[in-house]
Amino acid sequence: MKIIFCIYLDLNHCSKYSSIRCKYQYDFGALGIVSVWTVLLLVFVNSLKLGKYGLLFITIFLTFIKFCFIYVFIWIGYLLAFHMLLRENPSFETVLTSIPRMIAMLTGEFNFENLFYPEEGPVRGTTMAKIIFTTFVFVVHICVMNILVRYTNNFI
C-alpha cells in the first residue's frame, strides 16, 4: 500500500504547482494497484474456505507459464511471418506493435476483414498471408489452446 501513496505524491517541483503528474507516476501507480490486489489474492489463499480456489488459480497460472515457455517459438514464428507479410496493416507495422495484435489473435479475436481488407484497399501479399493465417488458426488457436485447456483440466 505504501507504493501507491509514494507514487501518488509530487515527485518533482513542477508538478507540485501545476498538479500535472508525470507519465511514469501513472504507470507505476497502476503497477502498484495490480500488485496489491495480487497480494490480496495470495492472502485469500491462506484462508480456510477460499484457499483451494486461490491454490487452483496459482497452479493453473504456473502451468500456463510453463506452457508458454514451450510454445513461444511457434508464436514468435507466426508473429514474424505476419509482420513480414502484413506490414502495410497498422497492427503489424513494427514487431512491437505486432505483439499485442498476436496476443489478441491468440484469444480468438482475428478481425479477418480489417486484417486483409482494410478500408484503404487490399493489402499486398495477402495470398501467402491467408495461407499462414489458416495454419495459425488450426495450429495455434485450435490445437495448442485445446492442449492448454486439457492440461489445465487435469488439475481440477
The structural domains of the chain, with segments of one domain joined by +, span: 1-46, 51-156
Tens digit of pLDDT for each residue in 75-101?
A: 899 999 988 888 888 888 888 888 888
Question: From CA 32, how far away is CA 27, in angstroms rounded?
Answer: 9
When the pLDDT of each residue in the chain is averaged and rounded to a whole number, the result is: 77
Q: How much is the pLDDT for 116?
A: 76
- Tell me what percent of the residues of the chain surpass a pLDDT of 90: 4
Higher pLDDT, 74 or 16: 74
Q: Quote the distance between the C-alpha of residue 14 and its chain's center.
A: 35
| Residue in the block written with cell 501507480 | 29
Whether residue 68 contacts residue 147, with contact meaning beta carbons closer than 8 Å, is answered with no
Q: Sort 115 into a burial class: Cβ within 10 Å, 0-12 / 13-18 / 19+.
A: buried
Q: How much is the pLDDT for 86?
A: 84
pTM, full prediction: 0.65
Q: How much is the pLDDT for 133?
A: 87
Residue 21 has pLDDT above 80, yes or no: no
Q: How much is the pLDDT for 11?
A: 57
pLDDT band at 55 (very low <50, low <70, confident <90, very high): confident
